[in-house]
Amino acid sequence: MSSVAQPHPSVPAGADAVDAKQALRSAIRASRSIRSPRVQADAAAHLAQVVATIPDVAQASCVALYASRAGEPGTLPLLQLLADKGKRVLLPVLGTNLRRGWAEFTSVDDLSERAPGRPPEPGGPEFEADALGEADVVLAPALAIDTSGTRLGNGGGWYDRALEFARPEAPVVALVYAEEIYDGEEYPLPVEPHDRRIDAVATPEGWRWLRIRAVA
């Protein structure tokens, strides 16, 4: 289990969702920064094994994922594990003006940061935003999740826009640390109209469904 306490920043009374989100983002990023490289590497290895047990991931032919940045739950072991299982893996390619695109993961050595602060991206051909519709499951980054399915992202809105192209039946699974799952009744995360709710959450300790999935 994670030994890091769940962040609960002080938010002024009457603060709107934007300010509340920013306070929580700052607190979670500070909390993430205390993990040592060894602890992060161990968590990344465990996360890969957990995600591989999710039935939708195990059965998928194509998975949308992302290459983690510093402080995020590590995804490099998961990327390699999915590739070794013969799955097609799509990674985000960030363009100007929040342009949404994707490219295929081929190897960790092919990943590179195209600009400071951006997640590593593949060097191969880029596909348009609607390529996400080919994914059988979407593994999305998050800073926090609550048990109603509300996702706190990094603030750019990239994934909320990108997920518009996901197939309705393709579950969206957020990857976080265990202490970043909040009780949706006791401590609901701030939400705005554009926020896309997610279906499940995975941590290095395990995974769970958050919403009842519609049966086609």
The mean-pLDDT minimum among 35-44, 80-89, 108-117 falls in 108-117
Q: What is the pLDDT of residue 97?
A: 63
pTM attached to this predicted model: 0.93
In this predicted structure, the answer to whether residue 172 has a pLDDT above a threshold of 80 is yes
Establish if 75 belongs to a structural domain: yes
The reported pLDDT for the residue numbered 100 is 79
Residues 6+ apart with CB under 8 A from 115: none
Bigger pLDDT: 135 or 9?
A: 135
Q: Is 10 part of a structural domain of the chain? A: no
| Residue 192 domain-assigned (yes or no) | yes
CB-CB contact of 192 with 152 (8 Å): no
SS3 134: helix
Q: Is residue 189 part of a domain?
A: yes
Residue 9: inside a domain? no
Residue 6 included in any domain: no
Per-residue confidence band for 124, with pLDDT thresholds at 50, 70 and 90: confident
So what's the pLDDT on residue 177? Answer: 98
- Domains: count for the chain: 1
Q: For residue 70, what are its two tokens?
A: 């510093």
Mean of the pLDDT values across residues 152-158? 87
Count CA within 13 A, CB hemisphere, residue 93: 19
CATH number, domain of 36, equals 3.40.50.10420
- How far apart are alpha carbons 45 and 132 in whole angstroms? 26
Rounded to an integer, what distance in angstroms lies between the CA atom of residue 65 and that of residue 75?
8
Residue 214 lies in a domain: no
Residue 214 has pLDDT above 70, yes or no: no
Instruction: Give 139-180 as a DSSP string.
Output: EEE-SEEETTS-EE--SS-HHHHHGGGS-TTS-EEEE--GGG
Q: Does residue 155 register a pLDDT over 70?
A: yes
Percentages of the chain per state (helix, strand, coil), in multiples of 5 = 30, 20, 50
pLDDT at 96 over 70: no
Report how far residue 49's alpha carbon sits from residue 176's, in angstroms, rounded to the nearest whole number. 14
Q: Containing domain of residue 183, as a range?
A: 17-209
Give the model's pLDDT for residue 59: 97
Q: What pLDDT band is residue 216 in, cutting at 50, 70 and 90?
A: very low
User: Is 21 among the domain residues?
Assistant: yes
Q: Is 85 left (phi over 0), alpha (psi -120 to 50) or beta?
A: alpha
